[in-house]
Chain A
């Protein structure tokens, strides 16, 4: 197998963030290569430089031994490189055929005709075994159908090198099997396929070779046949780090929130949560595990008053020991919840798009949830300023000034601002979504420490996470979501990583047979 594509010493930065640091990577002819790495390890950025979305700051790219410049997606297609992005780049109001016909088309000679495009696309579908209605409009398609369309589109353009960015993240197990079948068909046809992923199981199942990235650097590559989950994990996370997250035994555990029959249908009409039942207790950390996009976001947002739930849902808040009556949260918006005297803190996944206001400084962001307190028509500026100074001090937020727009801070500092604010509201419940995503080790540990402190002072903590090791070491109980249902609620001290993995990928977690 010859070298199809080589990246040599490629570096790409965004402002102060180094997304790729001196990466050298080879893709061979006719292989299935997994590009493995945790979230934020720079896999997608690296591949985007092959697909013409980004241009490297330095380094060089060779295709079939010749140095090339890829300035645009068109250049990439000319070099027979095609990428299926995680966020599909499809035109909603177009049919599948129209989407395929877009752009520069090397296949058709002479007059443009959608009919011939369709015929050609159908040929591709049949050859590789895709199941796609070419006359369907994209806005009527399911996620899996859209992905199929993207792949057909790339093949239609004559790509010999396909890059798939997290293709299985949004698929059901059956759909994954189907996808892997077509990927094998493509390999049999002589194409090279790069799969960006962080799922070990799939890496071992589908690929010939694995390349591992960590924190923007290329760590190495191994033949899949010689790899094990253990060896890959080691390369992915680095030398075996004992996380050593301090975890205390829960004491004085009391029920804070009781979720019953929670079901949600999103605005695309899809049922994303079905009949969820669980309790959130003060004095312990409840982990929520699951492959991303399995209802985690909707679950937290339902409790926070940001998500409309289906009738029959009950989310009750228990104020405490002194016999106060519980409160029904369904139908309340965040302000109602606040006004009911409930200190519910929420660190959403989208920090700058939901948790904070990009263009405001730390000071003004501090008052996002408290600006309306008091009867004055003027906002109180003094308290937020003091609070900002205090958080800057205690959490070590690196910022030129508390008035600097938070969008200009690094990811870790943004998260410190957000978590700092939420914690300082003296919450009885704090929910976090992917609280350490994209953060460096130090900041991550700061977050773990803060959550543990909250737990020790009796706060009910909900931690939605993606790294199983963290969930296992940080949490007391773990709720596993699978396909929008509770696949299981387990004791974090007892459960093994494999059991968790099984619960995540299979409802109920039982082996077949």
Chain B
């Protein structure tokens, strides 16, 4: 009998080398496609453009520092999502959870900034932001457990509820002013102190610690083990005596709480203000980061860095060649498409006619 031209079978095992190779090829192919795009749009030599792009992150120390600052924002949300995703709970609501955390921080800064002593103020800000993010994570998890409500759609909707609330309260806080501006500009109450010259260096530090902690949490803690089992099979979890409802809700509270904490870091350590753009779409991009990294927080750091490198690079191209920043979105999306598509070649194997099966 004639074989079909190509058959697809699931790979039973895979080597680390093969995985790395597939992803590497995907990124190279994506860069080639992007090079064509750059060439046809601008007529510029793509190699030159890539060199310019490189400068966006590595041009000087300040740029590198900013790149790391933006990277940790993305990474922070990515690691927040990791526990939820590992549990196969589709938390698409990071954007909203970050915003709620940021909002809680901003409210405390504005309304308690001058009345609380600094250490207490920070403590209250952190607790409030963590609680706000946690609540935003808790709600969909609760209903998922109670009525099996689809969490993808629920968390997605929660983002816009959060955006409305933030937009309303920033509007309320700014009063007659045209924009909110930096909060507590005069007193700088609630601003993270400068550390090695920048407030956001504290963000980098905290996210760095969290990256390690979440890695350890997922890999070595009992709760991390429970999460892994539930993600694999709820039946197995029940068999092992794991209280699925409890773990699901707990994990989503943790996921939301870390998002809330990132919201705190953005507001207190980076922007010193709040707006509907505080999360800036990072909540969505982080979903891609967390998924591609397969819940490993160190891979997340790598991927976040890659994405920020592209964004910064595209911005650099934009200013060097009078283009615009949106090139970053295109370049990023193309790379994402290629990496997403390349997963196929990690999980499956193509067998062409006449090449036999794997026995």
* A residues in contact (CB < 8 Å) with B: 13, 15-16, 55-61, 67, 69, 71, 304-306, 333-338, 346, 348, 350, 353-360, 364, 367-369, 371-372, 376-379, 381, 404, 408
A353 to B229, CA, bound (A): 11
A408 to B13, CA, bound (A): 7
With A368-B229, A379-B225 as known contacts, state yes or no: A67 contacts B1, CB within 8 Å. Answer: yes
A56 partner residues in chain B, CB cutoff 8 A: 1
B4, B233, B241, B359: which contacts A333 (Cβ < 8 A)?
B241
A358 partner residues in chain B, CB cutoff 8 A: 232-233
Give A345 Cβ to nearest chain B Cβ, in Å: 12
A57 engages B13 (CB within 8 Å) = no
Contact with A along B326-359 (1 / 0, CB 8 A): 0000000000000000000000000000000111
With A353-B233, A353-B236 as known contacts, state yes or no: A338 contacts B241, CB within 8 Å. Answer: yes
Give A350 Cβ to nearest chain B Cβ, in Å: 7
B1 engages A377 (CB within 8 Å) = no
B235 partner residues in chain A, CB cutoff 8 A: 350, 353-354
A56 to B226, CA, bound (A): 40
A16, A61, A334: which contacts B359 (Cβ < 8 A)?
A16
- For A71, the closest partner residue in chain B by CB is B4
CB-defined A-B contacts under 8 Å, sample of 5: A333-B243, A355-B239, A357-B232, A358-B232, A368-B236
B220 partner residues in chain A, CB cutoff 8 A: 378-379, 381
A358 to B358, CA, bound (A): 22
B12, B13, B236, B243: which contacts A357 (Cβ < 8 A)?
B236
B229 partner residues in chain A, CB cutoff 8 A: 357, 368
A334 engages B239 (CB within 8 Å) = yes
Whether B185 is near chain A, meaning CB under 8 Å from some CB there, is: no
Give B323 Cβ to nearest chain A Cβ, in Å: 44
A334, A338, A360: which contacts B228 (Cβ < 8 A)?
A360
A13 to B12, CA, bound (A): 13
B240 engages A55 (CB within 8 Å) = no
B357 partner residues in chain A, CB cutoff 8 A: 13, 57
A502 to B273, CA, bound (A): 79
B238 engages A334 (CB within 8 Å) = yes
With A67-B1, A359-B232, A371-B222 as known contacts, state yes or no: A354 contacts B242, CB within 8 Å. Answer: no
Whether B221 is near chain A, meaning CB under 8 Å from some CB there, is: yes
A357 engages B228 (CB within 8 Å) = yes
- For B3, the closest partner residue in chain A by CB is A55
Please report whether the interface of chain A is mostly helix, strand, loop or mixed according to DSSP: loop
- For B229, the closest partner residue in chain A by CB is A357
B167 partner residues in chain A, CB cutoff 8 A: none
Give A205 Cβ to nearest chain B Cβ, in Å: 35
* B residues in contact (CB < 8 Å) with A: 1-2, 4, 7, 12-13, 220-226, 228-229, 232-233, 235-236, 238-243, 357-359
A372 engages B222 (CB within 8 Å) = yes
A356 to B242, CA, bound (A): 14
A367 to B221, CA, bound (A): 12
Closest A-B pairs by Cβ, 10 of them: A335-B241, A334-B241, A354-B235, A60-B1, A357-B232, A368-B240, A354-B239, A371-B225, A15-B12, A57-B357
B225 engages A335 (CB within 8 Å) = no
A381 partner residues in chain B, CB cutoff 8 A: 220
B228 engages A61 (CB within 8 Å) = no
A60 to B220, CA, bound (A): 52
A61 to B239, CA, bound (A): 44
Give A299 Cβ to nearest chain B Cβ, in Å: 16
- For B217, the closest partner residue in chain A by CB is A377
B236 engages A354 (CB within 8 Å) = yes
B13 engages A354 (CB within 8 Å) = no
Which of A69, A333, A368: most chain B CB closer than 10 A? A368
B2 engages A408 (CB within 8 Å) = no
Which of B12, B224, B226, B239: most chain A CB closer than 10 A? B239
Give B352 Cβ to nearest chain A Cβ, in Å: 14
A376 partner residues in chain B, CB cutoff 8 A: 222
B1, B4, B238, B358: which contacts A59 (Cβ < 8 A)?
B1
A67 partner residues in chain B, CB cutoff 8 A: 1
B358 partner residues in chain A, CB cutoff 8 A: 15
Give A359 Cβ to nearest chain B Cβ, in Å: 6
With A15-B12, A377-B221, A378-B221 as known contacts, state yes or no: A357 contacts B233, CB within 8 Å. Answer: yes
A356 to B228, CA, bound (A): 12
- For A70, the closest partner residue in chain B by CB is B1
A357 partner residues in chain B, CB cutoff 8 A: 228-229, 232-233, 236
A413 to B220, CA, bound (A): 26
A378 engages B236 (CB within 8 Å) = no
With A355-B236, A357-B233 as known contacts, state yes or no: A377 contacts B223, CB within 8 Å. Answer: yes
B226 partner residues in chain A, CB cutoff 8 A: 371
B238 partner residues in chain A, CB cutoff 8 A: 306, 333-334
20 other A-B residue contacts (CB within 8 Å) besides A58-B1, A59-B1, A334-B240: A13-B357, A13-B359, A16-B359, A57-B357, A69-B2, A306-B239, A334-B238, A335-B241, A337-B241, A353-B236, A354-B236, A354-B239, A357-B233, A369-B240, A369-B241, A371-B226, A378-B221, A379-B221, A379-B225, A404-B13
With A353-B233, A354-B233 as known contacts, state yes or no: A377 contacts B239, CB within 8 Å. Answer: no
A364 to B235, CA, bound (A): 17
Give B116 Cβ to nearest chain A Cβ, in Å: 32
A305 partner residues in chain B, CB cutoff 8 A: 241
- For A304, the closest partner residue in chain B by CB is B239
B2 partner residues in chain A, CB cutoff 8 A: 69
A360 engages B241 (CB within 8 Å) = no
A60 to B1, CA, bound (A): 5
A378 engages B228 (CB within 8 Å) = no
A348 partner residues in chain B, CB cutoff 8 A: 239
A244 to B236, CA, bound (A): 35
B225 partner residues in chain A, CB cutoff 8 A: 364, 367, 371, 379
A354 to B228, CA, bound (A): 14
- For A369, the closest partner residue in chain B by CB is B240
Give A238 Cβ to nearest chain B Cβ, in Å: 24
A337 to B139, CA, bound (A): 31
A492 to B222, CA, bound (A): 44
A243 to B96, CA, bound (A): 64
A369 partner residues in chain B, CB cutoff 8 A: 240-241
A372 partner residues in chain B, CB cutoff 8 A: 222
A348 to B237, CA, bound (A): 13
- For A12, the closest partner residue in chain B by CB is B357
- For B219, the closest partner residue in chain A by CB is A379
- For B358, the closest partner residue in chain A by CB is A15
A334 to B225, CA, bound (A): 17
Give B246 Cβ to nearest chain A Cβ, in Å: 11
A55, A60, A336, A404: which contacts B4 (Cβ < 8 A)?
A55
Which of B223, B233, B359: most chain A CB closer than 10 A? B233
